[in-house]
Amino acid sequence: MGDLLATLYPWTLSLHIIAVLTWMAGIFYLPRLFVYHAERVGQGGDTDELFQTMEYKLFKYIMNPSLIAVWVFGLTLVLTPGIVDWSAVWPYTKGASVIAMTWFHHWLGWRRKDFAAGTNTRTGRTYRMMNELPTLLMLVIVVSVVVKF
């Protein structure tokens, strides 16, 4: 099994990076949609319906499959012999950050459901501030993987 994973490593890494890019695009874009939805769109009406459709499709058809692919290919990389040095700190900082990013993904899903139910109570400012979290997590993840401290 280890030989197969080692042989497939370049493909697994490529698919993992592609999945991360698509997931992060959604992670950054959905809160921006929420900002405009909260600040510029009232409940009900065509614009509210349009925003809900965009938010739903981004989350369901881009973000959710990307999240699954990130985890599948990421765990495959973890299982590939010789890739992770478990005596270093970086696998743990990356792992904790990915778990936090996954929590943020779900937080966005809960907020999307608030908009769909007409019960959003958060302001555009809240969504702007929360949009900084994935940036910080991304910095930790990239530095962890590249520097390997």
Q: What is the DSSP letter of 85?
A: -
The predicted pLDDT at position 91 comes to 96
Which residues form the domain of 108?
A: 2-79+91-147
Could you tell me the pTM of the whole model? 0.93
Q: Is residue 86 part of a domain?
A: no
How many domains are contained in the chain? 1
Region 118-146: mean pLDDT is: 95
* Whole-number Å distance between alpha carbons of 28 and 37: 15
pLDDT confidence tier of residue 42, bands split at 50, 70 and 90: confident
Q: What is the DSSP letter of 83?
A: S
Q: Is residue 84 part of a domain?
A: no
Closest-CA residue to 94 (of 5, 20, 1): 20
* Whole-number Å distance between alpha carbons of 75 and 15: 12
Q: Is residue 19 part of a domain?
A: yes
Region 35-55: mean pLDDT is: 92
Please report, in angstroms and rounded to a whole number, the separation of the first and last CA atoms in the chain.
28
DSSP one-letter string for 9-51: HHHHHHHHHHHHHHHHHHHHHHHHHHHHHHHH--SSHHHHHHH
The predicted pLDDT at position 43 comes to 80
Region 81-107: mean pLDDT is: 96
What average pLDDT is seen over the chain? 95
The residue type of 63 is M
Closest-CA residue to 127 (of 99, 108, 110): 108
pLDDT confidence tier of residue 27, bands split at 50, 70 and 90: very high
Q: Is residue 26 part of a domain?
A: yes
pLDDT confidence tier of residue 44, bands split at 50, 70 and 90: confident
The predicted pLDDT at position 38 comes to 94
